[in-house]
Structure 1
Amino acid sequence: MIQPTRRQTLGLVGAALLWPTAGRAEAVHTFHGSAFGTSWRITGPAGSGFERLRPAIERAFSEVDRQMSPWRKDSEISRFNTAPAGSSRVGRDTARVIAAALALAAESGGAFDPTVGPLVAQWGFGPITGGAPNWRGVSIGEEAVAKDDSGLTLDLCGIAKGWALDRAIAIARAADQACLIMDLGGELAVLGSHPSGRPWRVAVEHPTADAPPTAVLELPSGRAVATSSLKAQSYGVGDTISGHIIDPARRRPASGQLRSVTVTADDATTADGWATALFAAGAEAGPALARARGVSALFLIGDDPVPRQVRTGDIAKLLL
């Protein structure tokens, strides 16, 4: 299965978003399951019959795992990682996700790097071994991916969970489900509004354990949200806190005053990838990059009881 890595832990151990209080109201119903080493759940109007989505969603999640998990030796990604230099066949979905990852690497100036897997393993967070990262050495076609060095590998964990959530939302839309919120390991996407008529609401968790939420977001229909945070899989050495997200520029875990980044976008794939990229970029370069690329993000910086907030894009319009 796709195991929790420096990106996969978004929300898994408290690094992202609290479930909305409204999800416990009598007007809604929730069902849940497990995938990718974490849990998922869907909440929507009671009596709408959306529980019928379960088989299709579970099949979609299993397919993503078979395609993109670096922890499975039989996955398409693992076969590419162990292949020699040259071209390897992959399915169309895997090709689309690789293309999205490489596009994000270019747009972020390498802050998001899908070839960073060997560094992740070096710091104890992943299974991929290989040579030095170099996303520019990978190219993608419609159903094939090529590398110019046999040591190059791909790790899609920073974007594959978002893709899986988008697959689930597409299944819901195709079934004419117009009102629900779905949580996949702390990444969320919504359709329609809460049955009460107001937007779905989620709380942005405080970087410090047991502290109250720092903000509440109202999500319009079709919006997705993801968070990357030091609260998941971090450790301290002296005054320095290092986390599970690798900074490709320094080739070591991201560290500094940035504690979390929450990103909203029109799809979960984009939110997932940009949350990782902006966290890797850091407390100063991250907000600058978000502004330059028009990314809607909420940065929480510092260890004060109330962390300093930096807002970019239209995130301020979503905050209560």
Structure 2
Amino acid sequence: MPDHATTFSRRRAMGMGAAALLAPGAAFASAGLETIHGAAFGTTWRVTGPAGSGLEALRRPVDQLLAGIDRRMSPWRSDSEVGRFNSSHAGGHAISDDTATVTAAALRVAEESGGCFDPTFGPAVSHWGFGPITGGGATGWRGLALSGGRLTKAWSDLTFDPCGIAKGWALDRLADLAQAAGHADLLLDLGGELAAVGHHPSGRPWQVAIEDPRPARTGLAAALTFEAGAVATSGLRAQSYALDGRTYGHIIDPTTGEPVQGRLLSVTVLARSAMEADAWATALFAAGDAEGPALARRRGLRAVFLFDDNGLRQETTGGADHALL
């Protein structure tokens, strides 16, 4: 990595992996809505529902929920479970049920994506100017194994970075918390990833927009309608820098160990859970121009790919075109 890269913006918490997704005018700035918001994971959270829903009562439980997840899974914290695991020796280490759930999902997506999603690439992410895992160096998700509440690593310098999946899991838990409190119609946003519960107060599904991913461009590239599910976007817009005519992003090509290069600018995934959408958006972007859409089709994933082909080109898989407005 060029020495200049240390001066560029970096992810400050596990929640900063996704490109900005939501256009506020498409969902929040409508009559008849009530919104609460706050900060977590170095980014922001927002819950929107019908006016008069009493969402303010959720504020403290939401903050407590997200703070607890941060204490367990943030690789930025040396005192978190993940931080202690990353600095530990080879062998098995006890982890909580929540961390085990996220780890199991990360390893499953790693296998199903052929390694395009690899939660051991934290040192490579840091090498290129993003992310907190400056120690270690070994990579390869097959060096991790989970069994009976213990996470084992094959080498002492192998690390686990849940940034590409833990925020989605946190958003799912946020939706669970709100529903358990009796809220039936909500749109929830955690750092640009979205989960929908029920419908917009008008009775229609929730509608959101994908920002134009081209550098220095403003405006929207597409609009989506969705309900009872989640949406996540990965791409270059939120976490990247330009140097000597090349753009460097935070998503690593597992075949080269370098930031993904090509015409693909962003991938948006619609899925049943935010954790699934989060991980697969990262995997499909890492897979690249040709293999990304091909992988999405093999896995039956609903995704919207945006390419820079002398103008913005859109490609959809898994019936995602039916969600476009």
TM-score range, shorter chain: over 0.9
Go from structure 1 to structure 2 and tell me whether the alpha carbon gap of 1:232 and 1:22 turns closer, same or farther (over 3 Å shift): closer
Measured on the aligned residues, the alpha-carbon RMSD in Å equals: 1.5
Identity %: 53
- For 2:265 and 2:76, the matched residues in 1 are separated by 28
Q: Which moved more, 1:16-25 or 1:165-174?
A: 16-25
CA deviation map 1:71-107 (0-9, x unaligned): 1010000111111111000000000100000000000
CA deviation map 1:223-271 (0-9, x unaligned): 1000011112223345543211111111011111000000010000000
- Structure 1: unaligned runs, 5 residues or longer: none
CA deviation map 1:20-58 (0-9, x unaligned): 434222211111000000111111011111221122111
Q: Are 2:174 and 1:201 equivalent residues in the alignment?
A: no
Aligned match of 2:102: 97
Aligned match of 1:134: 140
1:77 aligned counterpart, secondary structure? helix
Aligned match of 1:3: 12
Q: Which of 55, 63, 73 lines up with 2:68 in the alignment?
A: 63
1:87 aligned counterpart, secondary structure? strand
Q: Which of 200, 218, 222 lines up with 2:225 in the alignment?
A: 218
- For 2:173 and 2:65, the matched residues in 1 are separated by 7
8 Å CA contact retained: 2:144, 2:153: yes
Aligned match of 2:112: 107
TM-score by length of 1: 0.94
Q: Which moved more, 1:16-25 or 1:308-317?
A: 16-25
- For 1:37 and 1:254, the matched residues in 2 are separated by 24
- For 1:122 and 1:240, the matched residues in 2 are separated by 16
Within a 5 Å distance, the mapping from 1:130-279 to structure 2 comes to 130-208=136-214, 209-220=216-227, 222-279=228-285
- For 2:85 and 2:225, the matched residues in 1 are separated by 40
> Post-superposition shift, 1:147?
0.9
Q: Are 2:52 and 1:44 equivalent residues in the alignment?
A: no
8 Å CA contact retained: 1:189, 1:268: yes
What code does the residue aligned with 2:225 have? E
What code does the residue aligned with 2:159 have? T
What code does the residue aligned with 1:212 have? G
Aligned match of 2:5: none
- For 1:17 and 1:64, the matched residues in 2 are separated by 24
2:53 aligned counterpart, secondary structure? coil
- For 1:36 and 1:163, the matched residues in 2 are separated by 13
- For 1:199 and 1:92, the matched residues in 2 are separated by 34
8 Å CA contact retained: 2:236, 2:265: yes
Aligned length: 313
- For 1:21 and 1:127, the matched residues in 2 are separated by 34
- For 1:154 and 1:169, the matched residues in 2 are separated by 26
What code does the residue aligned with 1:133 have? T
- For 1:29 and 1:192, the matched residues in 2 are separated by 15
TM-score by length of 2: 0.92
Aligned match of 2:292: 286
Go from structure 1 to structure 2 and tell me whether the alpha carbon gap of 1:227 and 1:35 turns closer, same or farther (over 3 Å shift): same
What code does the residue aligned with 1:266 have? R
- Structure 2: unaligned runs, 5 residues or longer: 1-10
2:136 aligned counterpart, secondary structure? coil
Go from structure 1 to structure 2 and tell me whether the alpha carbon gap of 1:20 and 1:142 turns closer, same or farther (over 3 Å shift): farther
- For 2:261 and 2:238, the matched residues in 1 are separated by 13
Q: Are 2:304 and 1:298 equivalent residues in the alignment?
A: yes
What code does the residue aligned with 2:81 have? E
What code does the residue aligned with 2:62 have? I
> Post-superposition shift, 1:17?
2.6
Q: Are 2:129 and 1:120 equivalent residues in the alignment?
A: no
Within a 5 Å distance, the mapping from 1:63-82 to structure 2 comes to 63-82=68-87
8 Å CA contact retained: 1:16, 1:228: no
1:162 aligned counterpart, secondary structure? helix
Go from structure 1 to structure 2 and tell me whether the alpha carbon gap of 1:273 and 1:73 turns closer, same or farther (over 3 Å shift): same
8 Å CA contact retained: 2:16, 2:43: no
- For 1:92 and 1:280, the matched residues in 2 are separated by 28
8 Å CA contact retained: 2:269, 2:277: yes
8 Å CA contact retained: 2:229, 2:271: yes
